[in-house]
Amino acid sequence: MKAEDLGEVWDRLRLAPAAEAGAALLSSALMCALFGVVIGFAVAVARRRFGAGKPVGWVGDEERALAGAALAVGAVWFVDLMVRGYVLNLSATTAWWQFAIAPVTAGVSLFLFALALRTPRTRARVTPGAVARRTWRSYGPTGPVMGAFGALIVGAGAVTVACGAASTQSAAGSPERIALGIPNTDLDPLVVLFPGWAYGLPLLVALGALTLATILALHRNAVRPFRDGDSLDDERARRRRLSTGVVAVASAGVLLGLAGLLRMARSAAAGSMTVRGDGLQSMTYAISSPYGELLVLGGVVASVMHIAACAALTVMVVDAAWAQWRPVRRPAPAGALG
């Protein structure tokens, strides 16, 4: 998008009714990202201001590493969005990576985080709770949180498969289009861009890798020996905070990928097409979009997902930065990330 195009868009938004302008802004992934950052920053500041004096766990090395993972997910996704949309003209290119890049970045970041988790130098002589076998679920988030993450992974996979099954091949033979029929006419179907298998298969692979990386990070966080001198309650609370951060980073990666897919699918929910013949009056035809209502709803949900993911990542980064420069009164024990 060129500078003059941005000026034209601004003029249209300025002259449009408030409801239409708001809908237009939410239809942009870039604007949703900015809204999410603002909301996340406000939430982080409010938590610090109204929760003053309460212990906040974002002060150790592990928490800072998770904040770095959150920053990496948001930054890589944002850079890709800007390059594809505003720097390079990739309209004739199948950007197969665009929905997979966020979950892949999240998976790589969590994998590196899991590898960096080390045994504390001062191990407890008798590990508290050693009689109980610890697994990746031992200090995980609450059941509803893990259930929501699992449902998100399954739902993202199901939507991706459904879009792939509905897609058709382009002229180049790549499954990245969908044919929209024009009822009661002998006109050829309208073929438009759609998140078919060309985009779906990389996303499915990314979701699988992210799931494995998340489980590995939760496992490494749970099975490490406890630190000497720290109480059992402190260790459990700390590890639950880390597990919650791991799932938050993973969930944000899935949300960003799925939201992009839903936003592209929404563009296929065309309602009509005008045909102008030689010397003939223009005719407007309705276009039959498979599950058109669901595609429109998916576009609305995509905006919510983009905002929620960016807000969650921003909260993690701001919390870590705030604790780094303005320590709380009761800091958690120092981390063991070496």
Give the tens place of pLDDT for each residue, 158-186: 999 999 998 887 766 678 778 777 777 77
The 10 Å CB-count burial string (b at 16+, else e) for 179-215 is bbebeeeeeeebebbbbbbbbbbbbbebbebbbebbb
Partners of 299 in beta bridges: none
Local confidence band at 111 (pLDDT 50, 70, 90 cut-offs) = very high
Local confidence band at 93 (pLDDT 50, 70, 90 cut-offs) = confident
- Tens digit of pLDDT for each residue in 250-292? 999 999 999 999 999 988 776 666 666 555 567 676 676 677 7
The stretch 183-207 carries a mean pLDDT of 85
pLDDT number for residue 168: 82
Reply yes or no on whether the pLDDT at 334 is more than 50.
no
Length of the chain: 338
The stretch 4-10 carries a mean pLDDT of 49
pLDDT number for residue 191: 78
DSSP 321-334: HHHHHS--SSPPPP
pLDDT number for residue 161: 95
Strands 175-180 and 168-169: antiparallel
pLDDT number for residue 338: 39
**Cβ-contact 203, 160 below 8 angstroms:** yes
Local confidence band at 121 (pLDDT 50, 70, 90 cut-offs) = low
3-state secondary structure of 178: strand
**Encoding tokens for residue 185?**
């006419």
**Cβ-contact 167, 177 below 8 angstroms:** yes
The DSSP H or E segment spanning 256 is: helix 232-266
The pTM of the full predicted model, rounded to 2 decimals, is 0.82
Reply yes or no on whether the pLDDT at 120 is more than 80.
no
pLDDT number for residue 2: 47
pLDDT number for residue 89: 77
**Cβ-contact 196, 177 below 8 angstroms:** yes
Local confidence band at 145 (pLDDT 50, 70, 90 cut-offs) = confident
Return d(Cα 145, Cα 214) in angstroms, integer: 14
For residue 63, which of 246, 250, 213, 218 has the smallest C-alpha distance? 246
**Cβ-contact 39, 33 below 8 angstroms:** no
Partners of 285 in beta bridges: 273
